[in-house]
């Protein structure tokens, strides 16, 4: 049985990925790395410091052009810019608020398990007006390892006092899906259109185009023992 619903945040509940990509392009340009929006999509779902490391390995910039800024400094600059953009401009993803309400109406606890820092989770919770809808929210930055490790999902289940096997996790990225899957949860993948057919999402119990496609029938299917063991 499903006793809790746990949601990723960026790109799943909130349309934040365009803001992340915009800030990545802006900050990376200051060290001479010019990226396209499509190139930024390659790192969707990764913690932001891992994104900076990803590009530094592939196109290293010199200490001189970085003006003394470390990789951590660049990651912080991107995150700070995203905080500002999301606080003023971000909107919920299609079906996100209805999906949360679906579980609340059934007295099933809901939570966020995000790779983003707690400060950004707070911004999103306020922006979307979902503070009273959620039971709790948890950041992987408070765990030993970020996604794709299962730590944040295991930690969220522990805080909810629910066994991982009785949790239903929603994810839009391959990294996040691997995190929830490794934690032993039932999973719903909601990939972006640009990677919807990527085989990395085949480990999900169900794949949906948007959260608006989640239904009673989907929920009932996920509940059955035949579907999940």
Respond yes or no: is residue 8 known to be catalytic: yes
28-65 residue pLDDT tens: 999 999 999 999 999 998 889 999 999 999 999 999 99
Respond yes or no: is residue 10 known to be catalytic: yes
Percent helix, strand, coil in the chain (nearest 5)?
A: 50, 10, 35
- The continuous run of DSSP H or E covering 59 comes out as none
Rounded to a whole number of angstroms, the distance between the first and last alpha carbons of the chain is 11
- Looking at residue 120, its pLDDT comes to 94
Give yes or no: residues 110 and 60 share one domain. no
Domain that holds residue 166: 4-14+91-223
Is the Cβ–Cβ distance between 204 and 181 less than 8 Å?
yes
pLDDT > 70? residue 229? no
Question: What pairs with residue 188 in β-bridges?
Answer: 170, 206
Supply angle C-alpha 164, 189, 196, rounded to 5.
Answer: 160
Q: Which of 10, 15, 73, 220 is catalytic?
A: 10
In a domain, 229, yes or no: no
How crowded is residue 165: how many other Cβ atoms within 10 Å of its Cβ?
15
Token representation of residue 52: 């900076």
Q: What is the mean pLDDT of residues 7-14?
A: 96
Give yes or no: residues 119 and 197 share one domain. yes
Supply angle C-alpha 172, 174, 175, rounded to 5.
Answer: 105
104-120 residue pLDDT tens: 999 999 999 999 999 99
Q: What is the CATH number of the domain that holds 123?
A: 3.40.50.1000
Domain end: 63, 89, 115, which one? 89
């Amino acid at each position: 049985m499903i006793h809790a619903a746990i949601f990723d945040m960026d790109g799943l509940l909130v349309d934040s990925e365009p803001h992340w990509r915009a800030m990545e392009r802006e900050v990376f340009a200051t060290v001479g790395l010019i990226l396209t929006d499509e190139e930024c999509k390659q790192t969707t779902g990764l913690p932001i410091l891992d994104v900076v490391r990803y590009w530094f390995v592939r196109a290293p910039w010199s200490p001189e052009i970085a003006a003394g800024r470390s990789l951590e400094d660049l990651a912080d600059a991107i995150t700070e810019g995203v905080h500002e953009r999301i606080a003023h401009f971000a909107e919920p993803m299609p079906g996100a608020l209805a999906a949360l309400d679906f579980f609340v109406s059934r007295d099933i606890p809901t939570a966020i398990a995000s790779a983003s820092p707690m400060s950004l989770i707070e911004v999103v919770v306020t922006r979307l007006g979902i503070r009273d809808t959620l039971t709790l929210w948890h950041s992987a930055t408070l765990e030993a390892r970020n996604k794709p490790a299962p730590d944040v999902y295991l930690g969220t289940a522990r805080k909810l006092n629910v066994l991982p096997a009785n949790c239903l996790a929603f994810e839009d990225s391959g990294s996040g899906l691997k995190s929830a899957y490794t934690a032993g949860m039932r999973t719903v993948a909601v990939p972006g259109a640009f990677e919807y057919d990527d085989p990395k999402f085949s480990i999900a119990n169900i794949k949906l185009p948007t959260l608006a496609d989640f239904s009673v029938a989907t929920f009932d299917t996920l509940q059955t023992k035949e579907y999940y063991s």
